[in-house]
Structure 1
Amino acid sequence: MAKAKKSIKKKNRWLMLVISFMACLILSVFGGYFALLYAGAQMIDKSKLEDMKKDPSVIYDKDGQPVYTLNAVENRDYIPYNKIPKHLIEAFVAVEDKRFFEHNGVDLVRIAGAILKDFQAGSAKEGGSTITQQLARNVFLSQEKTFWRKTKEVSIAINLEQKFSKEQIMEMYLNKIYMGEGVYGVEMASRLYFGKSLLDPDPKNQLTLAEAAALAAIPKAPSYYSPFKDPAKAKERRDTILRLMYEQHYITLQEKEAAQKEPLPVNTGRSVNDNNSQYRAYVDYVLREAKELYGVDEDMLYRGGWKIYTAMDKKMQDAMAEAFANPKNFPKDGPQRQVQAGMIALDPKTGGIVAMMGGRDYKAKDFNYAVDIERQPGSSFKPLVAYAPALDIGGRFDSIYAGLSNQLQDFNGYKPRNYNNQYSDKVPMYEALIKSLNVPPVWLLNEIGIENGMEYVRKFGIELKPEDRNLAIALGGLSTGTSPLKMAQAYTAFANGGVRTDAHAITKIEADHIGFLETAKINQTTVLKPQAAWNMHTMLRWAVERGTGKAARMDRPVAGKTGTTESGISSRTTDNKDVWFVGYTPEYVGAVWMGYDVEDKQHILRNGSDIPAKLFKKVFTEGLKGRKVVEFERPDGVQEPEKPQESQPLQLAADMTMENNELKVVLSWIGGEPGTSAYDVYRFVDSVESRELIASAYTDTVYVDTIKEPLPYKYIVVPRDAQGNEGTPSNVAEIDMSHLQKLLEDGALHNDEDLPQDGVEPQPGENGDESPDNPDNPDNPDNPDNSNNPDQPQEQEPPASGDITPPPDIPSDGEGQKPKEKKGRSSGKENPVEGPSDGETGGNG
């Protein structure tokens, strides 16, 4: 009996344990459920749902015309549920969530399978989410893939189902879903891919069943199933969705088969609204500026109701975007990466950013190569750190004709070189800039003092670091570099009488619903005296007219400077890492940079600074088309520098002599075009078409041709610039056959000075031991490792302004290159420190 009672008590104890466990389990389930509800309710920000319906914020150009809308972040037009075609809703339900109208936000069967797969994979791979969960994720959560994120997603989904009807949830989902190509929502997608609006009442323009299925195919993998990018894959998935719609009894067999037979025509125009990608970099900069200058963050702008007025010149912006879309305007891409680029244009009087391209194929929030890149500017930096400061400081360097040392010299370990090692005693300042010689600006910076040069650079708006205190900065050898925005901003001082104007995009920002209004202030800094600014401007004009910037010449006044930096990898002297052009017209200032993100043996620029100069020309020509051509305005009280003498035609003379029983023709020539660095010498008898090349890349101006047969030879000389481009040939010089016959008859030996001339006699100093002026080359930087150790130059007082007569030949295409820096004390006024490694900077370009 006692034993039976003990057994009953034991059973009762187990029963109580089971009941207690079940009670705890039920309480835990209910508690967890209510905890999920509470947590989900806390995470739902209703304003984010309402923002999808609010009027978008609008960005306007300088003329007050809308150019871009900011509608809750995305490129989207909101459309109500009753305007969405029934078969489009059914297509999404069939493929995304077939029990959508039955569950309470979570499909337990589907999510259990997804969790099992996640555990098998060892990480959260997504899947199993209902349409309500996808809405929760897209509106309220980040895109990270974690188990905790899935829990929050479930919690919010359950709450959404309690607060909104199925129709409201479907409406929000179809207006929020990303549909590829930068658009959100089915209305924008329909217009993008098929050129149809869901609001169009015309039956001919309404979305077909096949098109609806094609739209429903996209969200799973927008890039993979885009009708633009892979029509075959898009059609395959479309047909799968049509099959699912048939299996779930939304369409008949006949409707399925008929729709699957339809082709997949797409809207080749790809125009959805004014939110085109050519404005995206500009828009991203506007968003950045709104926060930095006015405290208006992106969330506020995306929620709608804002008007942002900008300095954008739509015609200039469109011209820039069109130029960037054409690969012919850029160096050839490498095997894995394309050549990148950034360009910006400013109004020098206001500082307004009138156009900007942040890169080729720029997408929202991409790295902005016009603003954020830091690359060495090469020779485009010379005016900022050497020439303009010297002109402004004055004294013996207050004239563009001031003589600068151009001798190969050693600044205690730092040996800047000109291209082809061509040097002279002195060179006028304007010629040093036009030729982009390297020795003169380094020598000049050493004379005026590195600290003075650096202080002017800071006034131009470019920050320098302590390690930049060395003579290499005269050639753009910065420790970190600079951006097109900073360079364009600095050059506003040359276009604006010595006054630098800070760049900005926003001119006014307002929001009526909160009473917000802010107007931009124009911030200016005086950098140069007006005369110094005009003198620098004059040299920059000449640099485009006859110097390294010739590729930027157009049918309106232009000034500017090219720049390149040598490749740090290639041993070829024609290879570069960066190429620049910074220039301006009376209307706008522009800066262009091109290069690779990362340089390697397969990704090196084979072109020079003529490429960005040509892009500048193309953009400014098109962007300013239709405007009256105006000249640069010289400030009151400023004197105009005398213009250098124009170059003379290349004049060739042919003289004959006999030496050691050999007939020799002595060819000599003078004059020539800007930019000439070498000559090709040709000989022919009958016609110039049959000419024979007898000397290639010849750098002297005298050549002796030994002839074996007494024929009536004729000669021409063709000049070449540093890039190998041919210039205008010389005159044809002929042998005097009567004099030849006399030589043959006499067999006499004549001295050169006794010979009659068959052409123009060279002037003193044009031939003989003195080397002619030779340009340096932006695309052929000299290798510093080949340098010798020249003697130190003697200190000489430069002649007073105007003492130097401008040479007749102003070179046009050549630029030099910065050699490798070495530590040491300079031979002049300053002590350079070690500069960037070889290839990291250069003065060429």
Structure 2
Amino acid sequence: MNKKVSPIVLKVLLITILVLIGLGTVFSGLIGGGILQVMKKTPDIDPENIKYEMSENSTIVDKDGNEIDSIRTSENREIVDFKQMPEHLKHAFIAVEDERFLKHNGIDPISIIGSAIQNFKSGSIVRGGSTLTQQLARNTYLSNDQTYERKIKEIYLALKIEQYLSKDEILEAYMNRVFLGQNSFGVQAASKTYFSKDVSELTIAEAAAIAGIVQSPTEYALFKAVPTSEVTDERIFGEFSIDGQKYSAVYNEKPFERQKYVLSKMLEEGYISDSEYKEALSEDVASNIKPPEDKSPLMASYFNTLLEKQVVKKLQETLNIGERQAWDKLYYGGLKITTTVDNDMQSKLEDVYENFSESILGNTQGWGSAPLLDLRYDNWGNIVKNDGTLIYYAKSNVMNDNNDFTISSDEAYYDENSNLIINSNKISLNNTNLVFKDYYSLDDKNSNLRTHKTGFVKFPSNENIRENQDGSILISASYLKNHNDFVWQNESGSFSFNKEYYDTDLEGVIQPQSSTVVIDQKNGEVKAIMGGRDQKGQKILNRAIDQPRQPGSSVKPLATYTAALDHGYNLATGIDDVPFMKNENGEIWPENVYRSYKGIVSLRDSLVYSVNTNAVRTLKDIGIDTSKKYLKNFGLIKENGDDNFVTKEEDSQKNDENLAAMGLGAMTKGQSVLDMTAAYAALANNGEYIEPLTFSKIEDNQGNIIFDEKDKKKNKVTSPETAYQMTSALMSAGKNYGTINLYGTDYATKTGTSDNNIDFWCIGYTPYYTVGVWMGSDNQNISLNSYSTDRTALMWGVINNRILHDYKQASFEEPSGIIHAKVDTISGKLPTQASYADPRNTVKDEIFSKDNLPTEQDDVHVWILVDTRNNLLASNKTPKNLQANRAFIDRKGSYDPSKWNGILPEDWKYSIPQKYSDLGYVEPKPKDDNKSNNAKKQDDKNQNNLENKDGQNQDEKQQNKQNLEGENQKNNN
């Protein structure tokens, strides 16, 4: 270990050095106090950890500490022990990057002053003068920004690192971390990328070539990655694919000139002998280059994909470090992460998705193609929108039997100069990229659609390819001559493009897709997750977290009705389902899915029947700002902005602070399945939101606890009583679907559908778990058919029946503060005699808290004197014996049909009549004594019933009053 430098000496040394730099550069604004301010903003690190952070992979363990998986990285990096690195490789790096490495204390004043003079002459930073220690500090904790502030931080960190680590430890960490081109991080990855050998087997010449890359990994990489379409007669070492484009590993001359310089520096510093130098110079390193064959990427589970992202964010929050450092710590810091996954539940969920069609459709024989999708085809079998706009070509229309992209003879021709002219909707030009359109196929059972990406060809320049004024595409004759296998004309006259020039996803992605999240609402633990179905041989897309979609009506309990119950509403409050708004085009908005209006409906039934007008009307009443507060507590709006909700501050023109987005779920970006499921879990958890995490503990490689689940973020959204009222309403909604049966276990659910049937949701909970399910196509131009609504709810039931198979029947526990009382479900108030007279039986048992228990009597039902012959208002012409008091709804002038195209809600006949009866006196028929006696008996019976109901009503009002007084007394005690 080096002799430690005291902090005071450290600061003095740093300032002195920077003052020296300032002699040759424009540094006056940062000298002295300015430097100290920059130092204060430098990441707080423990250099001692550097030697551990790059030493081992992180592992995932279960709750008992048993290792079940390890973290794998997409970066090409492999940690090797310092002893495994050959001495001549270490010496190559020291010689070319930091010749005084073994002598200085982290910074090299001679090198710094030299670079400062050079920078001053050029007027910008052209030479860094960084030591290996400084480079390690930058690679570990900082960005590559060319600023003086970053340089100060770099020097400060380098001095701190040298206090704690030996030179060997610093060099080991550096050589395992340094970027060496072609996605290779560290010397082991570089050795395998360029030579397909272990680092310990590198020759002196090969070691010098690798060390020479550091100065410019792009310029000095030992081979160039060139699009295959651009390769002519270059020397090629191998081929590989990146995001749909085929690349070739092509000989690069520059690094071998650099290699000679590295060897001369090694000789100069005495690291190799003259004979070794000459032997290395004579070695043909280029002939040794052997890129590794493409490997199929490891298909990480959806659960682990989410776990990795969440761990990185938690490391950033807890340790106050940058994202780059957090990823390094995850991949190579030897962390022990205790996962929350329930392997048995995850397996059952995967099994449901493995048998997706059978699980939710059963036998699909005879159903036709893709029975869950609402597809439109043109005359050639291509999938199109309603307006005829193309979405996907049929495979047979764009691919030949050899899977080469093919266009007809009418879509291309050779001009008089042998240029190829393409005039086809199947191919487009993006800058110099020739893009082939995507296509679809149907699986063997014809029950699933598969969508395929076809890729593109990158051309060297506009000289090779361009767009003509008429919109056609020209590929030059010179390019075609140099790439004579790129395209050919078939005997039929059609043209085929060689698939070796682009990357086509022949497997395809099955549609519709779906995702599911399961959360234990009691502690916020994510127990199982599926981010898609039947994905093979492609970059995995985790739709549960990475593909937010519009939640539709599933947002109503969160953004509207929970807040309403806390702000003057109860489950029986009547909300009038009638037109009340118009959009910017003057059209009545919103519409209900049933294309009509029910009239006054209780809040409970508004949720059960998903009444759009009532959701918007209620949201408008409680206010957008109130709703936002609830969405924040539900975790859908986050303080740090790391969410999918678009605020006015983020976008003043197109945002989610409006009635359509918050009331009906028509959100700009949408919401993720994870966030929506976690929000519902708060309702299941007595109104308390708990941060949904895939892990319960993170420990470093020394056993120190970085994070424990007791430190999870929690928000109180609402009271247990309000949460239970919402649960009760969601239980009614769930039973209304008719496709869910959990055989005695309580469940509360809500479905959601976005415009044009693009997205279908079903989210809900049992006393055990909260489950969110989404279904839809990746391409949002494709709609699902209306049958899919029931299928999504059915799938929710299928999943719950599978994961709860061995669980006992369970019911939701009612909080002690819940009050049961009879209420009129039109007014939401205490029933009167007029309430009971409503023929629809609007008086029902309902639940309340002390805060929304009604104390006033129903004032919506009123007695009105009518003509019994036509139910119109009794006039002075109406005989007394034909007049009667009947109960009607008094809308208090809140709706005037004449202002809304004469639209009448379904309950309009129960409203107070608007006209007087014009029927006059009619001569009575001769009396029939038997009929007269019967009528009199019926009238007496009706009067007794009214008196009995009135007496019952008085008793119930007294009982409700006693309940409320008792509740108040209990609270006072």
Q: TM-score, normalised by structure 2?
A: 0.42
Q: TM-score, normalised by structure 1?
A: 0.47
